[in-house]
């Protein structure tokens, strides 16, 4: 049964939350990052990019220590406060498309991650796990929740519905035109009822944040070994998560772009594709797949539809039914000789929130030779792959919602 706990969040004061909150550090270009830090002294970017203060790139242990220092300065200046009692936090996002996401920020069990109560669908890189573990150990906090999803639960849905009728602790709109809301739940009866409701759920799934989850588990083991008084309820045994019901999850595809045809002419390439797909030239009119196992392709100024020949490709497990895996097994690996999707510099990705026209423009601009559009995976596919203990190829899903950093912070 899932162990989901309340915690005492460190968070910005109400008047500064819109200034503190930021996107994930990696999502900014250097110019965007510097612009925000130049004009906003409260941005959480100042904490995670401490070298900015000295106009110097800083990495490794030196950076981690400076991150810790900047964080403590924000606390000392009372930009951050900490709640007195353990809370659950209802968090709602309404994006520019007026799609709404609503769930609960809480502490999830690292032991549940290890015991596969929290299930995974992506591989993680050991180096990244270890690096982030050392980062967490030095800074002593986590500011980006792991996105978890659970089967819709009537009681939890009712609690959320009743909570959002009250005045929010936070309400702010970003320059991306997403509006964020946060409510605290801290009365003991409600907190216990929410814990009990989650404890009735046997499996929870990671939607986004596999490396953060893995690193948090490694951290819990390190700190456990170094604590002779270990009890099992210490903060390091948990990691901050945003839990939303499956019905609220939005999954987009990641389209693929490749820089060359592996020495093949256009005609030779199309002939090789014909082994696996029924191909139709759609001309200059943009084509986007409308169902699983259909793909779009943009090549040499024209769109093509590619329909998988089911007599040529056999479905042996849940992974083999995933369109990202199908494209890899039929095109990317055997025809274009792209074997390692993580490290091959010939392949690029564009998530499905970007229009298929972006794929077209990147090919037209000669950045890539060919682009492929995919149909998004479903939550049922993600769960089935996780349940079978299989792992998706990199960049198989682009999952919303995307949270802001620095709105709630988990200390351990």
Q: What are the chain's domains?
A: 4-250+401-411 (no CATH), 254-396 (3.30.1760)
The tokens of 331 are what? 């095109």
Alpha-carbon span 16 to 212, nearest angstrom? 27
**In 87-209, which ranges are continuous DSSP H helix?**
110-114, 126-139, 154-163, 188-199
Q: Residue 56's pLDDT is what? A: 82
What is the secondary structure of 224-286 as a DSSP string? HHT-TT--S-SGGGEEEEEEEEGGG-EEE-EEEEES--TT--HHHHHHHHHTTEEEEEEETS-
Provide the CB-side half-sphere exposure for 156 (13 A, CA).
26
Alpha-carbon span 148 to 167, nearest angstrom? 26
Beta partners for residue 214, in sequence order: none
How, if at all, do strands 277-283 and 302-308 pair? antiparallel
3-state secondary structure 377-399: CCHHHHHHHHHCCCCECCCCCEE
Q: What residues in the chain have per-residue pLDDT under 50?
A: none
127 to each of 103, 145, 403, how far by Cα in Å? 31, 21, 25
Q: Residue 355's pLDDT is what? A: 77
Alpha-carbon span 103 to 89, nearest angstrom? 8
Q: Check whether the bond before 57 is cis (ω within 30° of 0).
A: no
Give the CA angle between residues 63, 242, 218 to the nearest 5°: 50
Q: Residue 25's pLDDT is what? A: 84
**Structure confidence by residue, pLDDT tens digits, 125-141:** 899 999 999 999 999 99
Q: For the full predicted model, state whether its pTM sits above 0.85.
A: yes
């Amino acid at each position: 049964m899932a162990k989901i706990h309340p915690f005492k969040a460190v968070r910005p004061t109400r008047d500064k939350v819109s200034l503190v909150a930021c996107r994930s550090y990696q999502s900014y270009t250097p110019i965007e990052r510097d612009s925000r830090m130049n004009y906003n002294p409260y941005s959480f970017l100042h904490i995670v990019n401490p070298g900015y203060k000295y106009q110097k790139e800083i990495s490794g242990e030196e950076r981690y220590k400076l991150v810790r220092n900047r964080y403590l300065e924000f606390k000392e200046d009372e930009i951050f406060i900490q709640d007195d009692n353990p809370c659950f936090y209802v968090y709602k996002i309404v994006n520019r498309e007026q799609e709404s996401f609503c769930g609960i920020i809480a502490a999830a069990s690292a032991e549940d991650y290890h015991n596969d109560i929290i299930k995974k669908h992506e591989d993680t890189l050991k180096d990244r796990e270890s690096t982030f573990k050392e980062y967490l150990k030095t800074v002593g906090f986590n500011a980006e929740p792991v996105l978890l999803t659970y089967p819709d639960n009537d009681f939890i849905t009712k609690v959320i519905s009743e909570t959002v009728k009250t005045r929010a602790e936070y309400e702010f709109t970003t320059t991306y035109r997403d509006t964020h809301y946060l409510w605290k739940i801290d009365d003991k009866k409600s907190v216990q009822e929410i814990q009990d409701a989650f404890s009735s759920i046997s499996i929870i799934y990671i939607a986004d944040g596999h490396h953060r989850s893995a690193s948090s588990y490694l951290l819990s083991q390190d700190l456990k070994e170094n604590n002779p008084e270990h009890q099992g309820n210490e903060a390091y045994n948990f990691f901050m998560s945003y839990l939303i019901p499956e019905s609220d999850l939005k999954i987009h595809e990641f389209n693929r772009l490749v820089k060359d045809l592996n020495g093949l002419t256009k005609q030779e390439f199309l002939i090789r594709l014909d082994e696996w797909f029924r191909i139709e030239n759609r001309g200059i009119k943009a084509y986007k797949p409308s169902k699983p196992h259909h793909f779009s392709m943009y090549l040499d100024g024209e769109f093509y539809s590619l329909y998988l020949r089911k007599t040529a490709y056999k479905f042996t497990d849940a992974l083999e039914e995933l369109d990202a895996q199908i494209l890899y097994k039929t095109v990317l690996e055997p025809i274009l000789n792209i074997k390692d999707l993580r490290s091959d510099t010939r392949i690029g990705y564009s998530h499905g929130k970007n229009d298929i026209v972006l794929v077209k423009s990147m090919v037209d601009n000669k950045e890539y030779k060919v682009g492929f559009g995919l149909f998004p995976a479903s939550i049922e596919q993600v769960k089935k792959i996780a349940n079978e203990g299989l792992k998706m190829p990199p960049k198989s899903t682009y999952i919303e919602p995307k949270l802001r950093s620095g709105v709630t912070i988990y200390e351990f």
